[in-house]
């Protein structure tokens, strides 16, 4: 990407290793931070590691990450986020530990927004997979992030709940947050994202507009991945 977008995240000479194995090796990439970006690629390609890196959960062994906007308030929603053995409301209220300015009214409003107000006093660990995902999103809403990172946000969810979660993702973007999510669902990528990052073997092989990537992938790895995924789906 030669022309820099007005708002972006720039990665330079990123190297992330684990037990001597290279997990990410990114020479340079620019991620536009004014639209929804999808991160796709084969299992084990490094998608989750990239999200953790952008969210500050891990640091690279070398290289730099520069944000054109500040301060960066990142909310990272991983695929398997644990719940404490307490009510839905109590799980939401945990966010107050980091931000005491959050009020009970704020929590009530978020419960309504994510559709869990009727389950506010139910045990969070007894929720369905979709309800747990909504709860995780609710926690993120309370953090007022400007960078939202989601790892497989609708994996194993039914179509109705998938649609509801996708709408919540759009709301983050509509409110001015940069959204980056990983997904194996190519139809979902087309529905939600305008930019795509394709990762293979820890390297970003392609990055660009969604429509161009799907209509004319330029690398053999991307062409092979799309053929395999489309064949399965």
Element (H, E) at 196: strand 195-200
pLDDT of residue 83: 86
| Residue range 43-68, pLDDT digits in tens | 999 999 999 999 999 999 999 999 99
Contact 150/181 with Cβ under 8 angstroms? yes
* Separation of CA 106 from chain center: 23
Q: Kindly state whether residue 18 falls inside one of the protein's structural domains.
A: yes
Q: Kindly state whether residue 95 falls inside one of the protein's structural domains.
A: no
Distance CA 75, CA 14 (A): 21
Structure tokens at 186: 């190519």
Lowest mean pLDDT among 79-93, 116-130, 151-165, 166-180: 79-93
Total structural domains in the chain? 1
- Region 174-179: what's the mean pLDDT? 92
Here the CATH number for the domain that contains residue 164 is 3.40.50.300
pLDDT of residue 1: 45
Residue range of the domain that includes 181: 8-80+145-232
Q: Kindly state whether residue 128 falls inside one of the protein's structural domains.
A: no
- Region 192-204: what's the mean pLDDT? 97
Structure tokens at 61: 């062994």
Q: Kindly state whether residue 118 falls inside one of the protein's structural domains.
A: no
- Region 107-116: what's the mean pLDDT? 96
**Could you tell me the pTM of the whole model?**
0.94
Bridge-based pairing state of the strands 74-77 and 62-67: unpaired
pLDDT of residue 122: 97
**Distances in whole angstroms, Cα of residue 55 to Cα of each of 58, 76, 138:** 8, 6, 17
pLDDT over 50 at 194, yes or no:
yes
The CA R_g of the chain, rounded to the nearest whole Å, is 18
Q: Kindly state whether residue 124 falls inside one of the protein's structural domains.
A: no
Q: Kindly state whether residue 112 falls inside one of the protein's structural domains.
A: no
Structure tokens at 54: 């952008």
Distance CA 173, CA 191 (A): 14
Q: Kindly state whether residue 85 falls inside one of the protein's structural domains.
A: no
Q: How many helices (H) and strands (E) does the chain have?
A: 8, 9
**In the sheet where 74-77 sits, what is the strand order?**
74-77, 147-151, 178-182, 36-40, 195-200, 203-209
pLDDT over 70 at 12, yes or no:
yes
Q: Kindly state whether residue 1 falls inside one of the protein's structural domains.
A: no
Looking at the chain, the whole-number percentage of residues with pLDDT higher than 90 is: 86
Structure tokens at 185: 């669902």
């Amino acid at each position: 990407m030669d022309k820099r977008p007005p708002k972006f995240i720039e990665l330079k000479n990123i190297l992330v290793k684990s037990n001597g194995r290279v997990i990410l090796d990114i020479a340079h990439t620019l991620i536009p931070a004014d639209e929804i970006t999808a991160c796709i690629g084969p299992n084990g390609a490094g998608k989750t590691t990239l999200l953790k890196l952008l969210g500050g959960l891990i640091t690279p062994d070398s290289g730099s990450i520069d944000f054109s906007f500040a301060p960066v308030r990142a909310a990272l929603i991983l695929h398997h986020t644990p719940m404490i053995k307490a009510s839905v409301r109590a799980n939401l209220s945990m966010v107050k530990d980091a931000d005491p300015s959050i009020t009970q009214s704020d929590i009530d409003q978020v419960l309504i927004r994510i559709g869990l107000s009727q389950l506010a006093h139910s045990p969070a660990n007894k929720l369905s997979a979709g309800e747990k995902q909504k709860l995780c999103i609710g926690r993120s809403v309370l953090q007022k992030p400007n960078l939202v990172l989601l790892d497989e946000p609708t994996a194993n969810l039914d179509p109705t709940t998938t649609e509801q979660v996708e709408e919540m993702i759009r709301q983050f973007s509509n409110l001015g947050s940069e959204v980056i999510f990983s997904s194996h669902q190519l139809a979902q990528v087309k529905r939600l994202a305008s930019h795509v990052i394709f990762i293979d073997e820890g390297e970003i092989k392609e990055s660009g507009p969604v429509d161009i990537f799907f209509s004319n992938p330029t690398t053999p790895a991307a062409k092979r991945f799309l053929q395999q995924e489309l064949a399965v789906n």
